[in-house]
Structure 1
Amino acid sequence: MRDFEHGAEFRFRRNDTVGTADAETDDRFLSECFVDTGDLDALRDCDDPKRVIVGRTGSGKSALIRRLKEVEGNVIEIPPQNLSLSYIANSDIINFFETAGVSLDVFYQLLWRHVITVELLKYKFKIDNEVQKQSFLSNLFGGPKKDRSKEQAIAYLREWGERFWDETEYRVKELTTKVETDLKASVGVGFNGVKLDASGGKKLTEEQKQEVIQRGTKVVNEIQIKALADVIRLLSDDIFNDPQDTYFLTIDDLDDSWVAEPLRYKLIRALIETVRSFRKVKYVKIVISIRLDLLNRVIEATRDAGFQEEKYESLYLKLRWTKQQIEDLLNRRVAKLISQRYTKIRISVDDLFPARVGRTTFVDYLVERTFYRPRDAILFLNACLEQAEGKNRLTAQIVSAAEGEYSRKRLISLQEEWGATFPNLTRYSKLLLHRKSTFKVSSIDRTSVEQLYYTDFAHDLESGDRVFAAATNLVLSGNGTLLDFLRAILPVFYVVGLIGLKPDSTSGTFWSFHSNEVPSPGSLDGNSVVAIHPTFWRTLGVRVAGD
Structure 2
Amino acid sequence: MKKLKDFQFGYADAEKEFTRIPEIFDESFYDYRQIAQKLIEKDSFLLVGRKGVGKSAVNARIRYLSTTKNNLNAFPLQLNDFEYTTFGKTSVDRNVIGTQKYKDSWDFFMLVTIIKFLYNNVKITESVELNKIIEVLEQLGFKIKNNLKYKQTVTRLSKIKVGAASAAIELAFENLKTEKPDTFQEIMSLLNEEMYDAIETTYTPTKEIIIMIDGVDDILRLRKNQLDILSSLIRSVDYLNDKFFKDGIKIKITVCIREDILIKITDPDLNKIKRDGSLTIDWSQDTDGLKKVVALRFKFSGINSEDSESYWYEIFPKEMQNKDSWEHVLEYTLYKPRDVLQFLKSCQELYPENAKLSFKQVSDALKAYSKDYFIEEMKNEVTGFVSEQLIILLPVIFQRLGSNQFSYSEFRRNFDEQSTTKIKNSEEVKLLLALLFESGYVGQLIKNKSKYGRETTSVIFKYRNPGSQVDFNQTFIIHKGIQKGLGIKLN
TM-score interval, smaller chain = 0.7 to 0.9
Distance in 1 (alpha carbons) for counterparts of 2:85 and 2:161: 16
Task: Tell me, in whole angstroms, the C-alpha distance in 2 between the residues paired with 1:158 and 1:121.
Answer: 15
Structure 1 position 499 matched with structure 2 position 442: yes
The equivalent position to 2:50 in structure 1, one of 52, 56, 63, is: 56
Larger Rg: 1
CA distance in 1, matches of 2:426, 2:113: 39
Alignment partner, residue 273 of structure 2 = 311
2:469 pairs, out of 519, 525, 529, with 519
2:30 is aligned to 35
1:412 alignment partner AA: E
Matching of residue 177 in structure 1 with residue 159 in structure 2: yes
CA distance in 2, matches of 1:252, 1:224: 24
Pair 1:160 & 2:137 matched: yes
Higher relative contact order (CA closer than 8 Å, sequence separation 6+)? 1
Aligned to 2:16: 25
Match of 2:383 in 1: 419
From the superposition, tell whether residues 75 and 222 of structure 1 become closer, same or farther in structure 2 (CA, over 3 Å): same
RMSD, aligned CA: 4.1
Runs of 5+ in structure 2 lacking a partner?
A: 67-71, 168-181, 450-456
Counterpart of 1:180, as a letter, is: V
Amino acid at match of 2:393: R
Q: Report the residue type matching 1:287 in the other structure.
A: T
3-state DSSP of counterpart to 1:461: coil
C-alpha distance 513-543 of structure 1, shift in aligned 2 (>3 A): same
- What is aligned with 1:538? 484
Q: Which amino acid aligns with 2:383?
A: G
Counterpart secondary structure, 2:421: helix
Q: 1:348–1:357: structure 2 CA closer, same or farther, 3 Å change rule?
A: same
Q: How has the CA–CA distance of structure 1 residues 313 and 36 changed in structure 2, closer, same or farther, with 3 Å as cutoff?
A: same
Matches within 5 A, 1:347-366: 348-366=311-329
Report deviation, 1:408: 2.0
How far residue 291 of structure 1 moved from its aligned partner, in angstroms, is 2.5
Secondary structure of the 1:420 match is coil
Tell me whether 1:77 sits opposite 2:76 in the alignment: yes
Corresponding residue of 1:288: 255
Local SS of the residue matching 1:459: coil
Match of 2:106 in 1: 109
By how many angstroms is 1:294 displaced? 3.5
Match of 2:234 among 272, 280, 284: 272
**Which among 184, 192, 201 is matched to residue 228 of structure 1?**
192
- In the alignment, the residues of structure 1 paired with residue 336 and residue 29 of structure 2 have an alpha-carbon distance, to the nearest angstrom, of 14
Q: Give me the whole-angstrom Cα distance separating, in 2, the residues matched to 1:251 and 1:332.
A: 27
SS in structure 2 at match of 1:397: helix
Quickly say closer, same or farther: Cα 1:58–1:184, change in 2 above 3 A: same
Q: Which residue of 2 aligns with 1:329?
A: 293
SS state of the match for residue 255, structure 2?
strand
Identity across matched positions, percent: 17
How far residue 166 of structure 1 moved from its aligned partner, in angstroms, is: 4.6
CA distance in 2, matches of 1:221, 1:367: 52
Cα distance in 2 between the residues matched to 1:399 and 1:21:
20
TM-score normalised to structure 2 length: 0.75
Distance 1:363 1:416, change over 3 A: same
- Separation (CA, whole Å) in 2 of partners of 1:114 and 1:426: 41
- Cα distance 1:295–1:344, how it changes in 2: closer, same or farther (>3 A)? closer
Per the alignment, residue 208 of structure 2 pairs with 246
Residue type at the aligned position of 1:533: H
Q: Distance in 1 between matches of 2:163 and 2:47?
A: 36
**Secondary structure of the corresponding residue to residue 312 of structure 1:** helix
Superposition deviation, residue 315 in structure 1: 2.3
SS of residue paired to 1:379 = helix
Following superposition, the deviation at residue 375 of structure 1 comes to 0.8
Check 1:515–1:445 CA distance in 2 against 1; reply closer, same or farther (3 A cut). Answer: closer
SS in 2 for 1:314: helix
Residues 453/157 of structure 1: CA separation in 2 closer, same or farther (3 Å cut): closer
The structure richer in strand per residue is 2
Q: How far apart, in 1, do the equivalents of 2:303 and 2:490 lie?
A: 38
List per-residue Cα deviations over 1:261-315 (Å, max 9, x = no partner): 5366544333212210122212221012122334345x27xx5xx6443433332
**Cα offset for 1:241?**
6.7
Which whole-Å CA distance do the structure 2 matches of 1:31 and 1:313 have between them?
A: 30
Partner residue in 1 for 2:176: none
Cα distance in 1 for residues equivalent to 2:111 and 2:78: 16
**2:365 counterpart of 1:374:** no
**1:320 alignment partner, one of 276, 279, 282:** 282
8 A contact 2:48–2:259 mirrored in 1: yes
Q: Distance in 2 between matches of 1:336 and 1:125?
A: 33
Per-residue displacement from partner, 1:468-512 (whole Å, max 9, x unpaired)?
5xxxxxxxxxxxxxxxxxx76643331231222355528965433
Aligned to 2:174: none
Query: 1:352 is aligned with what amino acid?
Result: I
* CA deviation map 1:450-479 (0-9, x unaligned): 8614432462425x46245xxxxxxxxxxx
Give the length in aligned residue pairs: 441
1:211-237 deviation line (CA, Å, top 9, x unaligned): xxxxxxx8244234266357547756x
Secondary structure of 2:162's counterpart equals helix
- 1:504/1:81 Cα in 2 relative to 1: closer, same or farther (>3 Å)? closer
Partner of 1:126: 123
Amino acid at match of 1:513: Y
Give per-residue Cα distances to partners, 1:150-179, cap 9 Å, x unaligned: xxxxx8677437664252445445544333
Matched-pair contact (CA < 8 Å) for 1:106–1:220: no
Q: TM-score, normalised by structure 1?
A: 0.68
Aligned letter for 1:70?
Y
Q: Partner of 1:222: helix, strand, or coil?
A: helix
The SS at the match of 2:444 is strand
Residue 78 of structure 2 aligns to which amino acid in structure 1?
A: P
Describe the SS at the equivalent of 1:109: helix
Could you list the runs of 5+ residues in structure 1 that have no partner in the other structure?
Answer: 1-8, 139-154, 186-217, 469-486
Displacement of 1:69 in angstroms is 1.0
Quick one: distance in 2 between partners of 1:324 and 1:535?
Answer: 20
Q: CA distance change for structure 1 residues 75 and 33 in 2, over 3 Å: closer, same or farther?
A: same
The residue aligned with 2:362 is 399
